[in-house]
Structure 1
């Protein structure tokens, strides 16, 4: 039976190797660099790559990049075989961060039909000097240049990580059947043990053998065990969480085994930690011996059948079993109340003696959840790895800002930072600590071909803070940005802005405002109360507009995954405290800087970054706060500027409380810490002159960059600016942030009704302005609001009659800062212009213009499905620059959604173009003449369009008349006028309450 399995495995191995060679995705030199050997031909190299498991066969193919689903594991295929056989999905999948299939298809349309996909085709037609098909790199890099960098990075990884231990020299040992990755399934059953998750999984992630798949089964935990496991899995695609209802331990283990695909299985209970080489050593013994059970252990742990029968304890955490052998004996007996592990081993070893081996065994961790705060091993290691005295005498480049980033567990995050650094005036120092192969090679090879990027590999296991210090000591710039892996690259460059602040007098550290994925503030620094040594995250839970209103300000210390400081300051303070694993290390640094007389800590509100995670988990926070306490108590309490700063944002402090944070919220005996918490309320502004209110503008745009190009976002920003100019406090909440708790501090909720129906907020004055999609509006929706407006005069009147709820007409408008006739000379720009996204349809105006052969200039996103690429002038224009295009164009085209056209909802584009005095052609809606006085003409067919776009444009008013009309549009239909209307109506409604 075993021989038959070996023959089947050999066939699968040969088939996989043949497919890899045929597809061109085999680079013998690259495989050899990873395995420390050489090959005579590609077939031999391909076989070795399949046998070795976690080895990439080609510099431009990385299985870890394809995605988290790891579909090849479920199908039992090698990832290359899976990739080249996935015809439809393959054309959308990037097999490597530097391979964009869209670029390949744009240059070579025939690549879509290649039997092995875009990458294989590109390799077949490219030479050593061909630039890589990617948008990530700031400059063109040839294929040969990157290949050399990747081979060097792979060899470096092997030298630093693998050859560090003599017993790992040579190619990775071959398992009996490694036609598919992973080589081993690690099984974990968990129930109500949330605080133990991170350290246990960290010991697995620190293994020298990395080709594993963890299946963690949550047995219906009532604490945060499942949530923590899910969070860990989000950053490591080798981890799968399976949720089960309350069940027996045996049932959970069997479920985990069902989800495994590897030949071997290992067991890692929560609360246990493996030494780094244990998994490799056990697997090496398992594949060399072919034994069904390999048992290690110490002391009284049973490692032979005689010892097991004699009653010695069983410890599966130090065992590796063959999965098919476990399956053959029926798995764990779910009918037993206990001793299921002993029962399994006794049945498994009935016909074959287990292999007892001498492998260093695991240890139990310190049960206290202080995490890495007391990790003095990092302190000792850092002293050996960082020469602060040498760093102190080195002068940094005053024109350079050095970003220091310890590499996290997710390769995509590293690549995002590599692709985001500015081309001039910045460098990125990536620090990798005992990285797994895929992440090390990607980081090192891509950094090698990007100007201003460097990769520093640290062979010792040290904390994130210690890794940051290693990067500080090697930074070339005179200013530093210290970045933790959870910080996303900013959408707008902020490095120079922060650098300017810390170069100013009296400033030691500067931090941006930190927001979560919903766009709500996570932190604007740390504040301390007089009677509590633990920090509170300033402005946490509030909208970013409050931080902007407060402006640049001094705080007790920073609290952010990104901070800026002078290099000389960091060196003088000897960097971050290595006893902090990550969080609060920058807070400790800021406190020490001020006490050393080096300057204060400052928050810069016009610099914003997003964090992928909460600032800290409870156990991280508890451990870090215990370390920070000694710094806080070593001097006078930090000054608390928060009450005065909040007052400038229209908020007043009514009380100060302490909130208890527990490692396990359901266990009152678990370690905890008291965190200060300010109780706030909005300042009553209704009776001021003029009245000053807090507004929340709710829009349907998604958070972050996805929603930046939405018209709703531009509209809301212009309206918010107009309200702010009239003394109002305004926050813009995109759809992800509309449930923020701090809305209770607002006075008015203004819903700009687009795609989303929004529930009114009790206690606020709820206002709805329907600017589009009238077909989506229902009578009960408008009845729930205090004030309702609609951007159509006729629809407002009709629905008021039919529904019995007053709907006031309030047309759309224009931002006169960007749209006015002085933006450009008439008829000096495009003959026919359309600015707008496709919205997934072949829009009427664009389709009609192209059908008659018009000289159309098209700006916008998502048009490639409908028009040729050479017909698209750009993917979009900054809203502040669109006015210049409108004012200079011969004719501007416009169209509406079907329901907007039917119900006469004039689009924002009409008001913008009319304010510039442009000639505008649009689909027909009622009221065009009354509102736009001849600047907007309707066209009902292509014949009319062809006549109207032909110079000398006799159907339109002359230049002087168009300018007069534009002046009237600006006076009557600006955001400032709409803001006046809204404020007057809202104040009257609030006073009437």
Structure 2
């Protein structure tokens, strides 16, 4: 029978308890802090952790960190039992952000064979003073220090969140003398593995002054004692009905509960929430006075109409009363949604029923004599409750920048910021709003052990803007960065740069350049049309090079998930307006700052932030623009046409683009957003001719592609082209589909791993610098002009394929590679700089085979060589020249196809420009290096050539002369000259 079916975790409950204790992955104090109790033994704590559901057994084990879609969830298995039984797969999984198995294995190779994995082994050999095995912390932190912080964070979570008691204030109307149904209210509750919270939650309902209610509690297949506790309560209170279901979604459980209700009104009481005695009476009284389908007792900026709900205003059904008929009309909760079912229900009710009034403020009663504030009453009271602006600090440190970030839904994003932001002169304040246990404890405990990081918990459900204001009021720095969770930590520090800008005269707010995950501009601020108060994201869709070309410039207002302003200005403006849940809150702040005479807004393009998400979803943007239209601030003159001309673009027209919340619903909310129509300014006839270039490379976006050789090559080439008056954008693999390529003149594909389709209407140029085996005659024929970094291959393929391929060898950046970078023979005797690329490369293998004293710099070598043989994981490209100029011998090798077809590597040109002695595998054409490059065909030759005094190579003076010739003939400047001349000639011929 279904009701008697035993789940795997039930069968193995004793096994799980035993495994937890044997593995060392149970900490009785930590479990007790989460459950608000103490345990006499680890076994007792292990059993409680297994039965309690969402409880972590150990400070360094967090199931939520491992991931969501794991087999233990499908099997109903405890995550620790799943983890310790995973064996080989487990060794690659980090069970906590502060546990890196790779670090454990590096120090304790025997940990790979431990029956319970790396963490269990590490705990068995570590003491309280042992440093945590992690790379994300800026300094070493002991295990004992973190354990203390984690226990305190868990206890604080229970105090602040589990026992949070929302209270009603404000005058409530009198209850009617008679109600239409009895019971008058059906209270619905969905539970799953919440046994420790059941009694107190139900007790708060039983303590209500309004007693005509019926509780329908649906148990979603709990594995602990939840069902038994509910049945025990129902045995002594006939108003309680318990419904048993198998594991199901939260929405399905709520719908089941609604089917068992008969009352006119429905209230929602989740586990862990406790109502004050007058809560239900106040809700019923307000519902009858207003006659509304829904009464919301919201904290702060709750949704009052459909547009504001679409904008993301918070919804908390735990303080709401809905008419059952209205819920039935719209079909109840949508069980196909993964989340946000509460907001979805209210949106559907608001579509078919009267607007949603907010008659019941949740915050404190206003002081006597407070004037009538109308619809903004709850927002103003929210500010008084959470932020006392008048008492906010007035002594801020000029040497400190405070970053304030409300904690978003993803723990990994929070941990990324904790591991990257705190530095000298920067503090991070994380503001958590009713976080889940795992996220709350991770954020609070890690913040507690990082100098310059603080965690602030707000148990009341408030908007992101209100949470940000809480952080502003706690800031110690004279400059504050307002950060939204979708902003990724910057790859380069930007706090000091933005703080410097907001100190400039006439500047109130500064925002960095915002790019998307593909590296394309998402926002460079907001611009406004003369007749449209809705903002457009300036430079959206253009390459970052256009923003850099424009430079730091004033904009109407910021539009970014990160902005900077003086803390005293933030306090004077009373922070972000609580009407804005997230998007456009910073735009409103900039407009208000301008109106208050505090200064304007600027965009700083040399500071760059990546956003994980689009700036706003359509429904969010529509609701936020509705609020912005009522903002008291007014934008200044539109400078966009003037600024775009600096980037070589001219405005030809302006149009409106319709943004629709639901394209399939003709009646859904919509708004018109202004949009500039631009075209490139023709520069072909200027002197010198100026073209817009898009350099396409195979490297991925963001930090993943930063260490690719293609990226360094493209940057140097772009600088050389810019030096000749060209406008250049570098498009990595993810950005090659950007629409703004239509504004370019030349598409230059640096052919690496990816085949790139030519862009119609542009001059399409391909430069084959590697992997010739991947090239086909059809690919070459599709381009207007083709180069190859091999003279012999270009000549042979031109004959065979009937398409002209011109030789254009690789080159060097003479800014970083020249003989004056270091004194000869003062560095490593034998040097190789390069990544393994998953191959035990010929040069490195040969050098180690002969026992040479090799200095190796690069990534991904641990599979082939011992860790102590690796000098570093990589060297900044601008510093590699120092190593080359100082080395005794520089080693080089090529991919097999590049060696066969004589594609000389970029490393040869860089090292030769430094005057280095170079040993390489044999290819044709090495004579262009004038004796600086000698080939070796086997290990015997290599052993002979690497021995001082290096008689086979020219002396120091001769090597300098050769290096200067290589610099003159094979620099990026020389290649840029060829590319521009050929492109101009072909474009003029076409036109």
- TM-score class, shorter: 0.7 to 0.9
Partner of 2:974: 977
Partner of 1:834: 832
Q: For residue 428 of structure 1, give the secondary structure of its aligned residue in structure 2.
A: strand
Partner of 2:428: 428
Partner of 1:816: 814
Partner of 2:383: 382
Partner of 1:540: 540
Q: CA deviation at 1:36?
A: 0.4
Partner of 2:985: 988
Partner of 2:530: 530
Aligned residues: 850
Partner of 1:733: 731
Partner of 2:269: 277
Note the 1:51-200 alignment, pairs <5 A: 51-165=51-165
Q: Does 1:760 align with 2:761?
A: no
Note the 1:561-580 alignment, pairs <5 A: 561-580=561-580
CA, structure 1 residues 17+980, in 2 after alignment: closer, same or farther (shift >3 Å)? same
Q: Does 1:791 align with 2:792?
A: no
Partner of 1:286: none
CA, structure 1 residues 991+10, in 2 after alignment: closer, same or farther (shift >3 Å)? closer
Q: For residue 715 of structure 1, give the secondary structure of its aligned residue in structure 2.
A: helix
Q: Give the Cα separation in 1 of the matches to 2:867 and 2:988.
A: 56
Q: Does 1:775 align with 2:773?
A: yes
Q: Give the Cα separation in 2 of the matches to 1:746 and 1:6.
A: 65
Q: For residue 61 of structure 1, give the secondary structure of its aligned residue in structure 2.
A: coil
Q: CA deviation at 1:19?
A: 1.2
Q: Give the Cα separation in 1 of the matches to 2:332 and 2:910.
A: 73
Q: Give the Cα separation in 1 of the matches to 2:835 and 2:567.
A: 45
Partner of 1:802: 800
CA, structure 1 residues 955+212, in 2 after alignment: closer, same or farther (shift >3 Å)? farther
Q: CA deviation at 1:375?
A: 8.8
Moved more, 588-597 or 365-374: 365-374
Partner of 1:619: 619
Q: CA deviation at 1:163?
A: 1.4
Contact 2:591 2:634 in 1 (8 A): no
Q: Does 1:934 align with 2:926?
A: no
CA, structure 1 residues 551+865, in 2 after alignment: closer, same or farther (shift >3 Å)? same
Q: For residue 768 of structure 1, give the secondary structure of its aligned residue in structure 2.
A: strand
Contact 1:498 1:511 in 2 (8 A): yes
Q: CA deviation at 1:127?
A: 0.3
Report Cα offsets for 1:207-263 as digits up to 9, x if no partner.
Answer: xx999999xxxxxxxxxxxxxxxxxxxxxxxxxxxxxxxxxxxxxxxxxx9995999
CA, structure 1 residues 177+658, in 2 after alignment: closer, same or farther (shift >3 Å)? closer
Contact 1:54 1:181 in 2 (8 A): no
Moved more, 520-529 or 420-429: 420-429
Contact 1:378 1:466 in 2 (8 A): no
CA, structure 1 residues 94+936, in 2 after alignment: closer, same or farther (shift >3 Å)? same
Q: Give the Cα separation in 1 of the matches to 2:357 and 2:888.
A: 66
Q: Does 1:690 align with 2:693?
A: no
Q: Give the Cα separation in 1 of the matches to 2:691 and 2:951.
A: 49
Q: For residue 88 of structure 1, give the secondary structure of its aligned residue in structure 2.
A: coil
Contact 1:77 1:180 in 2 (8 A): no
Q: Give the Cα separation in 2 of the matches to 1:822 and 1:741.
A: 44
Q: Does 1:965 align with 2:948?
A: no
Contact 1:924 1:940 in 2 (8 A): yes
TM-score by length of 1: 0.81
Partner of 2:448: 448
Q: For residue 852 of structure 2, give the secondary structure of its aligned residue in structure 1.
A: coil
Q: Give the Cα separation in 2 of the matches to 1:910 and 1:278.
A: 67
Partner of 1:552: 552
Q: For residue 613 of structure 1, give the secondary structure of its aligned residue in structure 2.
A: coil
What root-mean-square deviation, in Å, do the aligned CA atoms of Structure 1 and Structure 2 show? Answer: 3.4
Note the 1:355-754 alignment, pairs <5 A: 367=350, 377-391=378-392, 393-631=393-631, 634=632, 637-754=635-752
Partner of 1:289: none
CA, structure 1 residues 166+578, in 2 after alignment: closer, same or farther (shift >3 Å)? closer
Contact 2:551 2:604 in 1 (8 A): yes
Q: CA deviation at 1:265?
A: 4.4
Q: For residue 278 of structure 1, give the secondary structure of its aligned residue in structure 2.
A: coil
Partner of 2:180: none
Task: Give structure 1 stretches of 5+ with no counterpart.
Answer: 168-173, 184-208, 215-256, 283-296, 302-316, 320-337, 345-361
Q: CA deviation at 1:2?
A: 8.1
Q: For residue 419 of structure 1, give the secondary structure of its aligned residue in structure 2.
A: helix
Contact 1:400 1:478 in 2 (8 A): yes
Q: CA deviation at 1:276?
A: 6.9
Partner of 1:293: none
Q: Give the Cα separation in 2 of the matches to 1:625 and 1:689.
A: 45
Contact 2:484 2:562 in 1 (8 A): yes
Q: Give the Cα separation in 2 of the matches to 1:426 and 1:33.
A: 32
Q: Give the Cα separation in 2 of the matches to 1:718 and 1:831.
A: 28
Q: Does 1:850 align with 2:833?
A: no
Q: Give the Cα separation in 1 of the matches to 2:726 and 2:783.
A: 21
TM-score by length of 2: 0.82
Q: CA deviation at 1:371?
A: 12
Contact 2:157 2:441 in 1 (8 A): yes
Q: CA deviation at 1:422?
A: 3.9
Q: Give the Cα separation in 2 of the matches to 1:730 and 1:668.
A: 43
